């Protein structure tokens, strides 16, 4: 084997191994979210499998290129089928509870890919004609890591953004198949199996059963049945119901959107106001409101086109800015009459960096002195869980006492609407007791 061929194979290994890890994290997003308690174990298991692959490759004493070709072919099949959207959706739909599906995905798909590809560098290092062992291993690691670097950037910033996640899966599978052919181009059986693997990978990734899939989310628009509504449809983002709309005039939307709109337009009587909405969803808050100016901020640049084409069937009313919600409010010089926080990554999961005290302080920073914060949260209907109590306390620590409206009190999960005013201040509180009751004195200050 020539040095160029060896380095090319090692480059492909690095490109596709880290690519598989990135794709796996993205595939898990609609099902288990992107919290650190999900991403850290996933990366950890991947690295463990990679380390075990290094050790396994170091023990091999013969047939180096043939074993790498076999590993590439098996890894290509696992990537093309196991990382396909339909396959991952099936796992999480049929393997319950949730942690069983997660472990099956990690143990049956991602870790075997890492273990197989991890053997590449120690195996091919044996074939490198160098005077020093350090030179052989160093150059092999260089090309492998360079492949990982370029794979992480190209797949996440180019392929996923422009063509979708399924295209990234097929790109990884195809890369491994090309590596297999380069290693075993004289073996007709391997060539036939490689072509078959490519066809299967293409079939599994040709069409993911969603309306659109980007680097950030899976989007699906589907008709639903709601009594008294005309052609109602739902927008699902990462398997979570994000918005509902029908064709009546004015259009019917979800209950929480109607509640937010009631606060802004009826209770506060907003006209000619600037309203910032963090988390675009279906862009339904500004529907049928020509009196105010809305600015939507969302990290996914594709969400506007998806919503206009498949959900709204019309142009979005308002300005759209592509940015991370926290970064925008931390750097913006604009001030708004209202800030609406409606950010979720999956199911009921709010990104963890958007629940901290520092985040809520930044939302207050972009409010005008008489502005209002409206936050749509998904919490337990009785507000009994530590997460519900701690999140509400965190908001109160910045804004003082806020109004809390639970829209579905009898349900396990409910929309909880929090209303805070920039004019309020967090302060010390006291408990009224029979022995020392200052309620009458406190009322004098009202």
Name the pairing type of β-strands 403-406 and 274-278: unpaired
- At how many degrees (to 10) do helices 165-183 and 188-205 cross? 180
Contact between 148 and 15 under an 8 Å Cβ cutoff? The reply is: yes
- pLDDT surpasses 80 at 12: yes
Q: What is the mean pLDDT of residues 70-97?
A: 93
Average pLDDT value for the chain: 89
- At how many degrees (to 10) do helices 3-32 and 111-118 cross? 170
DSSP state of 353: G
Give residue 348's pLDDT: 56
d(Cα 214, Cα 304) in Å, to the nearest integer?
12
DSSP-assigned beta bridge partners for residue 277: 296, 340
Supply angle C-alpha 285, 288, 293, rounded to 5.
Answer: 65
Q: Give SS3 for 80.
A: helix
pLDDT in tens, 321-359: 999 999 999 999 999 999 999 987 655 567 788 889 999
Domains of the chain: 3-209 (1.20.1250.20), 252-421 (3.40.50.150)
* Tokens 């899966």 belong to residue: 169
Phi first, then psi: give them for residue 138, nearest 5 degrees. Answer: -65, -45
- pLDDT surpasses 60 at 158: yes
Q: Give SS3 for 368.
A: strand
Its pTM stands at: 0.80
């Amino acid at each position: 084997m020539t040095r160029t061929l060896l380095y090319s194979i090692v480059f492909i290994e690095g490109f596709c191994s880290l690519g598989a890890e990135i794709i796996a994290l993205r595939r898990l997003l609609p099902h288990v979210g992107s919290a650190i308690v999900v991403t850290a174990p996933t990366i950890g298991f991947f690295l463990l499998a990679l380390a075990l692959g290094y050790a396994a490759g170091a023990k091999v004493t013969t047939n180096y290129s043939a074993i790498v070709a076999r590993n590439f072919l098996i890894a290509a099949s696992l990537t093309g089928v196991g990382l396909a959207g339909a396959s991952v959706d099936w796992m999480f739909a049929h393997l319950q509870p949730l942690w069983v599906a997660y472990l099956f995905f990690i143990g049956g798909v991602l870790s075997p890919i890492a273990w197989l590809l991890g053997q590449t560098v120690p195996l091919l290092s044996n074939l490198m004609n160098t005077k020093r062992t350090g030179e052989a291993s160093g150059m092999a690691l260089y090309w492998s890591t360079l492949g990982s670097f370029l794979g992480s950037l190209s797949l996440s910033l180019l392929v996923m953004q422009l063509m979708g996640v399924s295209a990234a899966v097929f790109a990884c599978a195809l890369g491994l198949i090309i590596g297999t052919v380069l290693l075993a181009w004289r073996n007709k059986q391997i060539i036939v199996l490689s072509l078959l693997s490519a066809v299967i990978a293409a079939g599994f990734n040709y069409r993911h059963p969603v309306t659109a899939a980007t680097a950030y989310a899976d989007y699906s628009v589907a008709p639903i049945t709601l009594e008294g509504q005309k052609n109602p449809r739902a927008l699902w983002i990462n398997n979570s119901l994000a918005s509902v709309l029908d064709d009546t005039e004015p259009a019917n939307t979800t209950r929480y959107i109607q509640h937010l709109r009631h606060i802004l337009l009826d209770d506060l009587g907003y006209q000619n106001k600037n309203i910032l909405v963090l988390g675009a969803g279906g862009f339904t808050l500004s529907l049928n409101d020509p009196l105010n100016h809305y600015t939507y901020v969302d990290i996914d640049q594709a969400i506007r086109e998806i919503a206009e084409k498949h959900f709204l069937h019309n142009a979005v009313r308002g300005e759209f800015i592509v940015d991370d919600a926290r970064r925008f409010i931390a750097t913006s010089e604009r001030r708004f009459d209202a800030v609406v926080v409606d950010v979720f990554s999956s199911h009921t999961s709010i990104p963890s960096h958007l629940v901290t005290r520092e985040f809520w302080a930044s939302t207050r920073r972009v409010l005008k002195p008489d502005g209002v914060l409206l936050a749509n949260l998904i919490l337990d209907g009785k507000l009994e869980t530590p997460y519900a109590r701690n999140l509400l306390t965190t908001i109160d620590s910045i804004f003082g006492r806020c109004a809390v409206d639970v829209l579905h009190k009898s349900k396990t999960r409910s929309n909880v609407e929090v209303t805070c005013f920039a004019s309020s201040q967090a302060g010390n509180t006291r408990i009224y007791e029979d022995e020392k009751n200052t309620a009458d004195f406190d009322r004098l200050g009202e």
